[in-house]
Chains A and B, each alone.
Chain A
Protein backbone atom coordinates (compact mmCIF):
# COMPACT_ATOMS: atom_id res chain seq x y z
CA UNK A 1 0.00 0.00 0.00
CA UNK A 2 1.30 3.44 -0.90
CA UNK A 3 1.50 6.08 1.76
CA UNK A 4 3.54 8.42 3.92
CA UNK A 5 5.45 7.20 6.95
CA UNK A 6 6.53 9.56 9.68
CA UNK A 7 8.80 8.52 12.53
CA UNK A 8 9.04 8.58 15.40
CA UNK A 9 5.47 8.99 16.60
CA UNK A 10 6.65 10.72 19.79
CA UNK A 11 9.93 12.61 20.29
CA UNK A 12 11.43 14.42 23.24
CA UNK A 13 14.03 17.13 22.90
CA UNK A 14 16.44 18.40 25.49
CA UNK A 15 17.47 22.03 25.66
CA UNK A 16 20.11 22.90 23.08
CA UNK A 17 19.58 19.70 21.13
CA UNK A 18 18.80 19.28 17.44
CA UNK A 19 16.34 16.55 16.52
CA UNK A 20 15.38 15.13 13.13
CA UNK A 21 11.92 13.98 12.12
CA UNK A 22 11.70 11.42 9.36
CA UNK A 23 9.22 11.48 6.46
CA UNK A 24 9.21 8.84 3.73
CA UNK A 25 6.68 8.41 0.91
CA UNK A 26 6.21 5.70 -1.70
CA UNK A 27 3.51 7.50 -3.68
CA UNK A 28 6.01 8.74 -6.29
CA UNK A 29 4.95 12.31 -5.52
CA UNK A 30 7.18 15.19 -6.51
CA UNK A 31 6.01 17.67 -3.87
CA UNK A 32 6.48 17.25 -0.14
CA UNK A 33 5.60 19.52 2.79
CA UNK A 34 6.20 19.99 6.48
CA UNK A 35 3.55 21.58 8.68
CA UNK A 36 3.37 22.47 12.32
CA UNK A 37 0.07 22.23 14.20
CA UNK A 38 -0.46 23.72 17.66
CA UNK A 39 -3.52 22.82 19.79
CA UNK A 40 -6.72 24.28 18.39
CA UNK A 41 -4.88 25.77 15.44
CA UNK A 42 -4.69 25.23 11.72
CA UNK A 43 -1.63 23.97 9.90
CA UNK A 44 1.29 26.32 9.35
CA UNK A 45 3.77 25.62 6.56
CA UNK A 46 7.40 25.22 7.63
CA UNK A 47 9.13 24.11 4.41
CA UNK A 48 8.11 22.59 1.13
CA UNK A 49 9.85 20.94 -1.78
CA UNK A 50 8.43 20.66 -5.27
CA UNK A 51 11.29 18.62 -6.71
CA UNK A 52 14.36 16.73 -5.58
CA UNK A 53 17.32 18.91 -4.49
CA UNK A 54 15.12 21.99 -4.18
CA UNK A 55 13.07 23.37 -1.28
CA UNK A 56 11.52 26.65 -0.18
CA UNK A 57 10.78 28.27 3.15
CA UNK A 58 7.21 28.44 4.31
CA UNK A 59 5.68 30.87 6.77
CA UNK A 60 7.53 29.68 9.89
CA UNK A 61 10.90 28.33 8.68
CA UNK A 62 13.05 29.95 11.38
CA UNK A 63 14.66 27.35 13.62
CA UNK A 64 14.04 24.50 11.18
CA UNK A 65 16.02 22.96 8.32
CA UNK A 66 15.26 20.35 5.65
CA UNK A 67 16.91 18.39 2.87
CA UNK A 68 15.54 16.67 -0.21
CA UNK A 69 18.24 14.40 -1.55
CA UNK A 70 15.83 11.68 -2.64
CA UNK A 71 12.33 11.88 -4.04
CA UNK A 72 11.02 9.58 -1.31
CA UNK A 73 12.48 11.38 1.67
CA UNK A 74 12.07 14.83 3.23
CA UNK A 75 13.52 14.92 6.77
CA UNK A 76 12.94 17.92 9.03
CA UNK A 77 15.50 19.02 11.62
CA UNK A 78 14.27 21.06 14.56
CA UNK A 79 17.30 23.02 15.68
CA UNK A 80 18.13 24.48 19.06
CA UNK A 81 17.29 27.89 17.57
CA UNK A 82 13.61 26.92 17.63
CA UNK A 83 12.72 28.06 21.14
CA UNK A 84 9.18 26.72 21.22
CA UNK A 85 9.26 23.41 19.37
CA UNK A 86 6.49 21.62 21.26
CA UNK A 87 3.87 20.84 18.60
CA UNK A 88 2.41 18.20 16.31
CA UNK A 89 4.42 17.94 13.07
CA UNK A 90 2.78 16.71 9.91
CA UNK A 91 4.44 15.71 6.65
CA UNK A 92 2.48 15.65 3.41
CA UNK A 93 3.04 14.90 -0.24
CA UNK A 94 1.20 15.81 -3.40
CA UNK A 95 1.28 14.44 -6.92
CA UNK A 96 0.36 16.16 -10.17
CA UNK A 97 0.03 19.83 -11.02
CA UNK A 98 -3.70 20.44 -10.95
CA UNK A 99 -5.30 22.46 -8.19
CA UNK A 100 -7.59 19.56 -7.35
CA UNK A 101 -4.74 17.24 -6.44
CA UNK A 102 -4.96 16.76 -2.66
CA UNK A 103 -2.20 16.57 -0.12
CA UNK A 104 -1.70 13.18 1.53
CA UNK A 105 -0.56 13.25 5.13
CA UNK A 106 1.47 11.04 7.40
CA UNK A 107 0.29 10.22 10.93
CA UNK A 108 2.45 12.93 12.47
CA UNK A 109 5.19 13.26 15.07
CA UNK A 110 4.45 14.78 18.44
CA UNK A 111 7.49 16.69 19.73
CA UNK A 112 7.87 17.76 23.34
CA UNK A 113 10.55 19.48 25.39
CA UNK A 114 12.14 17.55 28.26
Chain B
Protein backbone atom coordinates (compact mmCIF):
# COMPACT_ATOMS: atom_id res chain seq x y z
CA UNK B 1 0.00 0.00 0.00
CA UNK B 2 0.89 3.64 -0.12
CA UNK B 3 1.52 5.50 3.10
CA UNK B 4 3.23 8.52 4.59
CA UNK B 5 4.26 8.83 8.21
CA UNK B 6 4.98 12.00 10.12
CA UNK B 7 4.86 12.78 13.85
CA UNK B 8 1.45 13.88 15.06
CA UNK B 9 2.80 16.72 17.18
CA UNK B 10 6.04 18.63 17.72
CA UNK B 11 6.73 21.30 20.34
CA UNK B 12 9.43 23.96 20.06
CA UNK B 13 10.42 27.29 21.53
CA UNK B 14 10.13 30.65 19.78
CA UNK B 15 13.38 31.51 18.02
CA UNK B 16 14.55 27.89 17.88
CA UNK B 17 14.92 25.45 14.98
CA UNK B 18 12.59 22.49 14.45
CA UNK B 19 12.64 19.57 12.03
CA UNK B 20 9.52 17.71 10.92
CA UNK B 21 10.20 14.31 9.40
CA UNK B 22 8.27 12.41 6.77
CA UNK B 23 8.83 8.85 5.63
CA UNK B 24 6.89 7.48 2.71
CA UNK B 25 6.08 4.22 1.06
CA UNK B 26 4.75 4.64 -2.47
CA UNK B 27 5.16 2.64 -5.65
CA UNK B 28 5.64 5.53 -8.04
CA UNK B 29 7.38 8.37 -6.20
CA UNK B 30 7.69 11.53 -8.26
CA UNK B 31 8.20 14.30 -5.72
CA UNK B 32 7.61 15.42 -2.13
CA UNK B 33 5.70 18.58 -1.21
CA UNK B 34 5.13 20.38 2.07
CA UNK B 35 2.07 22.44 2.96
CA UNK B 36 1.18 24.56 5.98
CA UNK B 37 -2.34 24.78 7.38
CA UNK B 38 -3.45 27.07 10.20
CA UNK B 39 -6.43 25.94 12.26
CA UNK B 40 -9.59 26.15 10.17
CA UNK B 41 -7.73 27.55 7.20
CA UNK B 42 -6.61 26.53 3.75
CA UNK B 43 -3.38 24.63 3.15
CA UNK B 44 -0.67 26.75 1.56
CA UNK B 45 2.28 25.44 -0.41
CA UNK B 46 5.74 25.66 1.18
CA UNK B 47 8.18 23.61 -0.88
CA UNK B 48 8.74 20.77 -3.34
CA UNK B 49 11.62 18.31 -3.73
CA UNK B 50 11.99 15.96 -6.67
CA UNK B 51 15.71 15.32 -6.35
CA UNK B 52 17.90 14.47 -3.39
CA UNK B 53 19.16 17.41 -1.40
CA UNK B 54 18.15 20.57 0.33
CA UNK B 55 15.85 23.30 -1.00
CA UNK B 56 15.89 26.60 0.89
CA UNK B 57 13.19 29.24 0.89
CA UNK B 58 13.78 31.90 3.51
CA UNK B 59 13.39 30.48 7.01
CA UNK B 60 12.08 27.18 5.63
CA UNK B 61 14.15 24.41 4.07
CA UNK B 62 13.13 20.99 2.81
CA UNK B 63 15.29 17.93 2.34
CA UNK B 64 14.78 14.72 0.38
CA UNK B 65 16.58 11.39 0.30
CA UNK B 66 14.97 9.16 -2.32
CA UNK B 67 17.11 6.16 -1.39
CA UNK B 68 15.83 6.37 2.21
CA UNK B 69 12.24 7.31 1.23
CA UNK B 70 12.60 10.17 3.67
CA UNK B 71 12.28 13.89 3.77
CA UNK B 72 12.07 16.66 6.32
CA UNK B 73 10.97 20.24 6.69
CA UNK B 74 13.28 22.52 8.67
CA UNK B 75 11.92 25.69 10.19
CA UNK B 76 14.41 28.23 11.56
CA UNK B 77 14.00 31.26 13.79
CA UNK B 78 10.58 30.07 14.83
CA UNK B 79 7.87 32.67 15.23
CA UNK B 80 4.54 32.30 17.00
CA UNK B 81 2.79 32.62 13.62
CA UNK B 82 4.48 29.35 12.57
CA UNK B 83 2.12 27.48 14.91
CA UNK B 84 0.15 25.37 12.45
CA UNK B 85 -0.13 21.89 11.02
CA UNK B 86 2.41 20.81 8.43
CA UNK B 87 1.63 18.17 5.83
CA UNK B 88 3.95 16.21 3.61
CA UNK B 89 2.45 14.96 0.36
CA UNK B 90 3.90 12.69 -2.28
CA UNK B 91 3.15 13.10 -5.97
CA UNK B 92 2.72 9.53 -7.13
CA UNK B 93 3.01 8.35 -10.72
CA UNK B 94 0.96 5.24 -10.02
CA UNK B 95 -1.94 7.39 -8.77
CA UNK B 96 -2.07 9.41 -11.97
CA UNK B 97 0.35 11.92 -10.46
CA UNK B 98 -2.08 12.90 -7.72
CA UNK B 99 -0.94 13.90 -4.24
CA UNK B 100 -1.02 11.38 -1.40
CA UNK B 101 -1.11 13.23 1.92
CA UNK B 102 0.33 12.49 5.33
CA UNK B 103 -1.85 12.97 8.41
CA UNK B 104 -0.06 16.17 9.37
CA UNK B 105 2.20 17.36 12.19
CA UNK B 106 0.84 19.92 14.60
CA UNK B 107 3.62 22.35 15.53
CA UNK B 108 3.19 23.98 18.92
CA UNK B 109 5.44 26.94 19.64
CA UNK B 110 6.01 28.14 23.17
CA UNK B 111 7.25 31.62 24.03
Contacts and interface: CB of A to CB of B under 8 A. Distances in A.
Given A42-B104, A48-B98, A56-B96, A107 B43 contact: no
B43 A99 contact: no
The dominant DSSP class at the B interface is strand
Nearest to A42: B101
B41 A107 contact: yes
Contacts, number: 51
Contacts of A44: 101
Contacts of B30: 99
Interface range, B side: 20 to 34
Given A42-B102, A99-B91, A100-B50, 10 more contacts: A40-B103, A42-B103, A45-B99, A48-B98, A56-B96, A99-B97, A102-B45, A105-B42, A107-B41, A108-B40
Interface of B: 4, 8, 30-31, 33, 40-45, 48, 50, 87, 89, 91, 96-99, 101-104
Interface of A: 33, 40-45, 48, 56, 58, 90, 99-100, 102-108
